[in-house]
Structure 1
Amino acid sequence: MKLYKRVIYRLAKRDTPLGVTERIRQAFITSDIVPHDIKFFVSDSQRGVSGIDRLLKQNPKLSSYRYSVGTSEGFEQRLTNLPARWDGANSDGVTNSLGMEDAIEIVGGIPRRYPLNRLTFIFDNLPILRRNPKASIEDPIPFVAKGDVRYQRLFSPSVTGWSDYPSPCIRLQSDWWISGRNNFLDAIVELGDLADGLPPLELNELERQFLSSIGDIYHERVFAVPSNKEEAAAVYENIIAGERIVQSCYDDDANLIGVDYPYPLEPLKIGDHASEPLSVKKAITTHFKKRGFIYNTKYSNGGVYTITKITKNHHLVRLTFELGKFSADVSCVGGIEGPLWKHDFKLPAAHTNMEPYRVTRQIDMDHQIGNIAAAYNIIEKPIIETIDDLYGIGPSWLTFL
């Protein structure tokens, strides 16, 4: 396995994409680094003024990166130089690196001059973040283990902040989220290959000095990818077995088999009950603290609530709750993961034919999450414990949180 360290930054409201990019550029200048591989992805809003049209009018040389994709709402304009193995790749195969001045021009116009929907920059293949100068500098290959077995892309640019990317780089993302911009910044350090022995897992002095000059480091974790195709193939066999384990617990309508929900949930219409303040976290804690979970603030924000626990074999179980828009019902997806694999599953609060669609009282919230807890009880042994045993004891160096 190849090991990497992911470094996540804490960004304040005043940290605009331009301000962050300027700090990255200054760090490059101070460390005498010329960024030669800047990957980027930009998508346009499908409503209102086109940020891409405005950008290309100001900087027409970027037009070679433009293409359009069909969506459920029509067509979406994009600019990117991502290669073919990436989701969102340039359909014309234009993969030339973006220049730093062009990057500054793009982020400097967000969000007013260029009201772009999503933006991702990857300052890739940075020597200062690669410990072995002789290591391969080829583009990372997609590895299916950390996602859907039917989906073999490297990552979707819209969710960069939630993906592991095996390459020494700095990544900046900015997109619209509810009522404002959501900005995210992280860095990836290439630690080494386990075939050469366990490398030091902590940042060395040079790495920490360079990365700290860019911003306030919030969180660090180690992740892994296969060293070669043979290792990937061996993991893939277990992945298929694990997917079959998950699928065996659901019927053709995606209903969880064998669950007896303790609370009958009735659809509520607007006006059925007066709305009151709702606490998703309180209800989750009530039902899941006794099941060994802890509330995880690092992965909880903006209507998303995450709880986690470590299994006996040192794998991670993560449950993510989301409260829908306009107080719609609570949904929950779960997952169990190790260093090279991940299996997702759903924990519905009701059978398909009785799903509620509105929550107005705390008791409604408690009942929905109580039903989700009952669903968790059903899958704990056949999914979590069985998959935990399928992969055996995980490495002690692995950090999930």
Structure 2
Amino acid sequence: MTRTEYRWLLPSAMADPELPGDRPWTWTRSRRTVRDWAVDLVAFLCAAFFGLLVLAAIEADDTTADVVVLVDSVIGAAACCALWLRRRWPVALAGTLTVVCIVEPVAGGALMVALFSLAVHRPFKPVALVGAGALVVAPLQPLLRPDPGTSLVASAIIGVLLILLVLSWGMVVRSRRQLVLTLRERARRAEAEAELRAEQAQRLAREAIAREMHDVLAHRLTLLSVHAGALEFRPDAPTAEIARAAGVIRDSSHEALQDLREIIGVLRGPGDTGEGERPQPTLTTLDALIDESRQAGMEVVVDNRVPDPQDAPAATGRTVYRIAQECLTNARKHAPGAEVTVTVTGGPGDGLTIEVANPAPAEPFERVPGSGQGLIGLTERATLAGGRLEHGPTADGGFAVRARLPWPSA
């Protein structure tokens, strides 16, 4: 397992405990994206709109001096412009605007935006500290600069409710972002684990193919050794026998080289011994496999259109046999009682095609753990044989496997 794969398998709290905006923001660490500029612009405009409404109410009061309106305008504009620093210093900005809003109601909109940004980008502790300070000073602003049209109690209650609403909204947004990050991390870990399982299944399939091909090569090399030994110890044998032995050696060598090409790069699993005596299936033994499945209670319909199955290459016939064997096994597990159709077509020069299909099961079944690993092995086997394999659900809810393998012309 590589370091990258191990990193994905770590718990999400260890891999990335913070949201993207939790760490101090600097221009050298991360540049603003188009989305950042758009969000900052919207926040600025909202704060400015709120400030203009408050400023209009102040101007409507005839008792307010012009110099006070001017100072309110300057401080409100400065508070709105300060929101462009909310990503870099959210705690300091929210705390400063909290103090400013004690005597400056025009900066109230900027304070709401700063508190929302603080709740989104910082954990609960700093949000609670700054939020508590904002709740404490909320009644002070209407006390120092009362609104003639609103009572002191109503102004204090409205200020407290606005602060609680903004902080709650920001924490909800933060929680949702944390949930999304957690789900993404889980999806990445699941994908990495699935890739590891697929790689392991491919490795096991290659090892099984290597063991099987080893048996074939051992058989043919044994024939070579026997006939070569006969020629060595009987140099005076008749010409016909020598020619027959030479022909067997030539054919066996050719077939062994063909089988060897299929397993280049495939490693045999260590510690596997004692399997060299097992017989190798071919296309002619496919009927015996079907009869065995029928005896087990399966309904199997066979459409074998290969005129001379004994002439099929041994490796190709063996691959067809293994594909049919795995598909019948899967049908017994996942679609018990369903009729299975096995179709085999092809010939020399046209290739060999096998298709195994079954309809949807009559009753729902529980998915077997590890399902799908056998299909990975079949795909690997068909690829090594020079063909291809396709599998997937059918339109009626069933399942079909189709493989096309080469069959060279004579």
Please, what TM-score do these two structures have when normalized by structure 1?
0.19
Larger relative strand fraction: 1
Which is greater in Rg?
Answer: 2
Please, what TM-score do these two structures have when normalized by structure 2?
0.19
Structure with more relative contact order (C-alpha pairs < 8 Å, separation 6 or more): 1
Larger relative helix fraction: 2
